[in-house]
Homo-oligomer: A and B are copies of this chain.
């Protein structure tokens, strides 16, 4: 299981009047880490969409447990790995740390999809491509 690490500098504006990170930002960083995992591995979701008609990564389910707060001026790390594969879903585990302190444990459950042939505004989950699975297993 490959693990990817992304560093982020916490901004003053990422924090709320309590002086700690406003929690939706942790999900912003989850998403940033997921995209950087793809992008940094040469998996180009824009090209995959154009050439194969596949929509990479619609989100089905997310969650997070908050263990310790962070504040501005701190550099945090998002540790991400694909922790589970089913035929049509994959689960990305994200752990956010500041040095040895775990701040957040969370996950994103995502799919691959195609536009629904009956209704272009809707999508349908499809099998996860083997090359994608090989790249992140």
Q: Which residue of B13, B17, B19, B59 is within 8 Å of A32 (Cβ)?
A: B13
The 3 closest A-B CB pairs, nearest first, are: A63-B63, A24-B27, A13-B22
Inter-chain CA distance A36–B14, complex, in Å, is 13
Contact B12 A23 (CB under 8 A): no
Contact A24 B25 (CB under 8 A): yes
Interface residues on A, range: 20 to 34
A65 with B61, Cβ < 8 A, contacts A13-B28, A15-B17, A24-B27 known: yes
What are the residues of chain B within 8 A of A36 when measuring CB–CB? 9, 73
Q: Which residue of B23, B28, B55 is within 8 Å of A31 (Cβ)?
A: B23
A interface vs B, CB < 8 Å? 6, 9, 11-13, 15-19, 22-25, 27-28, 31-32, 35-36, 39, 55, 58-66, 71-73
Contact A61 B66 (CB under 8 A): yes
Contact B24 A28 (CB under 8 A): yes
Question: Looking at A12, A16, A27, A63, which has the most chain B CB atoms within 10 Å of its CB?
Answer: A12
